[in-house]
A and B are shown apart, each in its own frame.
Chain A
Amino acid sequence: MDAIILQILNGLDKGGAYALIALGLTLAFGTLGVVNFAHGALFMLGAFCAVVFNKLLTLEIVRVDPTKTTPWGSPLEVKTPYVQAMLGDWGKVFIDYSVPVSIVMAIPVMLLIGIVIERGLIRFFYKRPHADQILVTFGLAIVLQEIVKHFFGANPIAQSAPQIFSGSLQMTEAIVYPYWRIIYLAFSLAVIAAVFAFLQLTTFGMVVRAGMQDRETVGLLGINIERRFTIVFGLAAVVAGVAGVMYTPIVPPDYHMGMDFLVLSFVVVVVGGMGSLPGAVLAGFLLGILQSFASMNEVKALVPGIDQIIIYLVAVVILLVRPRGLLGRKGVMES
């Protein structure tokens, strides 16, 4: 019983990450009709926002302390992060919280990146076949990850969660659950709720939803749908980016993490139903949990290797039984 609860919990935070990436993917697809293979790279860029921010905060000032010497007799160099030098103990706290705080930086950066990508590249591909969209964004993904690799190297760069969240919650005797994963789950739920609220409650959201249903008609009403869709693409980039930021303490980011997540996220989107936002969220959590269950030793003993393929297997079965995915609509992406 405990094991089952633990697996559900484990699946939830992973599912949260899937759901967030799939949500952004679906937003971009539903509004712009663009299949974005670079979306995983946006997740990776978000994660590297956290890395950059941490690096910026921990830039050090080197001072020579005249009162002390090294054992070799030369004057001792003391390195202090400038933030700490300027703000004292508050600086320390700041550095400790660098991951959550870097969200503040990631949001405008990702928004900008998203808008630049949409205006500079994607908009020329609205009328091109999906195959072309896949290929050009695949190329973009390679470029983005190679740039990151050039500046940050190929090795993962570990980021730590703030001190107080670094422990684990002892739920019962057998269930130990790291605090940060709880935070991640809560965070992803909050972002999902915010996106839905934005789409449901604001006029902007209403127009976007209408545009997802029938782009031409909304255009005929004299609404500048293009600009809104640009912003939506930026929003999708932000969602992917913050998902990446918060994921850094769970898995140390490296340049190809986006590709790894992308394949899974696409499967999530397809299982949920191309173009359906609730479908993306539902499928994200569902597949996250299923994957956790499949990695239980008892299950693995029963069906060896199932943990490696469960998601793909589920995707295949669902697409064959429900060709449009769990909550998909007819006529989407079928040409």
Chain B
Amino acid sequence: MKHTSKLADIALLIGFAIVVALGPVIFTPIGAGYPDLLQKFAIYGIFAIGFNILFGLTGYLSFGHAAFLGVGSYAAVWSFKLLSMDLLPAVIASVLLAGLLALAIGFISLRRSGIYFSILTLAFAQMCYNMAYSVLTPITNGETGLRVLRNDPRHLDAAFGYVSPMPSLLGLQITGWTGFYICGAVLVAAFGLSIAIFRSPFGMTLRAIKSNQNRMGYTGYSSRPYLLSAFVISGMFAGLAGSLLAATDPLAGAERMQWTASGEVVLMTILGGAGTLLGPVLGTGLIKYFENIFSAYNEQQLTAMFAFLPDGVREAVVKTTGLFVGEGWQLTLGLLFMAVVIFLPGGIMEGINRLLGLKHTPKVKSLGDSPQRDGLGEMVIEEMPPSHGAAEADKKVAEQKNAEKKRAVAP
């Protein structure tokens, strides 16, 4: 087999669009068929798809992407307040502002790599979060959160004589199933864009950076503009998600920027499979599902569920399972996080591929680092060559040499 063909990609996109369109039907049997929840799947899916363009392709782990989500939300609410209740100006404002912020943060953070990069992005995001609560209160309205008011000016709406009590898109209210389909359409568009980026020379260059950044220079590439572009693009995706979040719930609070929110998008991406096309969306779905469904369970429901057990046993079972649902769903989340990183570094996508026996899985050295894990069951590589052991040994030798080289270079 060769590169995935253009046809396969189009089929993947169409399949994806069909699944989104049939979302209400598909998710009802597992108890997730609410527009609000599915909307969340879609919005955070966009966030994760964007994050994956940075982390999945380049391997640069940003711990501050929530900042862009938050800025997108604030920008959207301001657009609802000052310009129009329509979604379009809000989206434009959010994406632009998030992109600008990403440009500034990325410009500085990308001067360093590895853990330093992670910490720098984390520091910037915390700075934004703290500022939203303090100095920037006039813009963010601090802890109360920024909300849309009836008597806001809305200059564009005033000029056109348009009145809408809620955010809307060309007259369509972004609530209920309409709201879901609007967000779903944006998700499909984002997914299509991510396919295009994955298959472009740009995407290949990003994967090359992840594979061997040192070689980039000797091949004639300047890595930093590529990384910065990826960073800005993923920041814009986050801004887009932020504006949709604000449209469905027109109250922007700073907690969307907290570093736990940044951690969540990392989790969603790796859970699904970093560097794969579908993985981030799957991971998002799973986590948002856990959050909404599992956290709703309480002790009575559990007792009812285990009613068939004898009294003593039932109590023990309810107590134990109670740890993991309801208030304790985050515990489940943490355990899941660890389990995925330990046992399935390639995320769910790798699990699916392994289950289907679609390919010989080479030993995974790092999270989501192989181009053969593209899309559901698509193979890029026919088979691993037999000389795997030799290649490993080679790599070891090369690493040692590299270490020596480094030592030799050090003055």
Instruction: Judge whether B135 and A333 touch: CB under 8 Å.
Output: no
Q: With a CB–CB cut-off of 8 A, which chain B residues contact A315?
A: 119-120, 123
Tell me if B342 and A140 are in contact (CB < 8 A).
no
Q: Give CA–CA (A78, B29) in the complex, Å.
A: 57
Partner of A266 from the list B119, B337, B365 (CB cut-off 8 Å) is B119
Size band of the interface chain A makes with B:
35 or more
Cβ–Cβ contact B367 & A142, under 8 A: no
Are A142 and B136 also in contact (CB < 8 A) when A135-B270, A308-B131 are? no
Query: How many residue pairs between the two chains, A and B, have CB atoms under 8 Å in the bound complex?
Result: 128
Known: A138-B263, A312-B126. A130 touches B114 (CB 8 A): yes
Chain A window 101-141, contacts with chain B (Cβ cutoff 8 Å), 1 for yes, 0 for no: 00000000000000000000100100011111011101111
In the complex, are the beta carbons of B367 and A131 less than 8 A apart?
yes
- If A305-B135, A312-B123 touch, whether A270 touches B337 (CB-CB below 8 Å) is no
Contact of A131 among B61, B130, B338, B410 (CB under 8 A): B61
A331 engages B406 (CB within 8 Å): yes
Q: Are A308 and B133 in contact (CB under 8 A)?
A: yes
Taking CB atoms and an 8 Å cut-off, the chain A residues in 217-267 that contact chain B are 259, 263, 266-267
Are A333 and B115 in contact, CB atoms less than 8 angstroms apart?
A: yes
Tell me which of A131, A136, A139, A267 contacts B123 (CB under 8 A).
A267
Which of chain B's residues have a CB closer than 8 A to the CB of A274? 115-116
Contacts A128-B366, A150-B323 given: A142-B135 contact, CB under 8 Å? no
Contact B122 A132 (CB under 8 A): no
Cβ A313 vs Cβ B127 within 8 A:
yes
Type the 1/0 row for B130-147, where 1 means its CB is closer than 8 Å to any CB of A: 110111100000000000
Q: How far, in Å, is B23 (CB) from chain A's closest CB?
A: 29
Cα separation A320 to B122 with both chains bound (whole Å): 15
Dominant SS among interface residues on chain B: helix
In the bound complex, CA of A141 to CA of B131 (Å):
26
B222 within 8 Å of A by Cβ?
A: no
**A43-82 at interface with B (beta carbon < 8 Å):** none
Q: Which of B168-176, B194-202, B327-335, B375-383 sits within the interface? A: B327-335
For the complex, is A298 an interface residue (Cβ under 8 Å from B)?
no
Q: A308 touching B134 by the CB < 8 A rule?
A: yes
B118 within 8 A of A: yes
In Å, the complex CA distance between A315 and B113 comes to 15
Contact pattern, B 301-344, Cβ under 8 Å of A = 1, otherwise 0:
00000000000000000000001000110110111111001100
Contact yes or no, A142 B333, CB < 8 A: yes
CA distance A312 to B367 in the complex (A): 28
Q: A142 to B366, alpha carbons, bound, how many Å?
A: 22
Is A132 a contact of B367 with CB atoms below 8 Å? yes
Interface, chain B (partner A; CB < 8 A):
59, 61, 108, 111-116, 118-120, 122-124, 126-127, 130-131, 133-136, 259-260, 263, 266-267, 270, 323, 327-328, 330-331, 333-338, 341-342, 345, 365-367, 406, 410
Contacts A/B (CB < 8 Å), 5 sampled: A128-B366, A146-B328, A259-B260, A267-B119, A309-B131
Which 10 A-B residue pairings sit nearest by Cβ, starting from the closest?
A305-B135, A142-B334, A139-B337, A308-B130, A146-B331, A139-B338, A143-B334, A312-B123, A305-B134, A312-B127
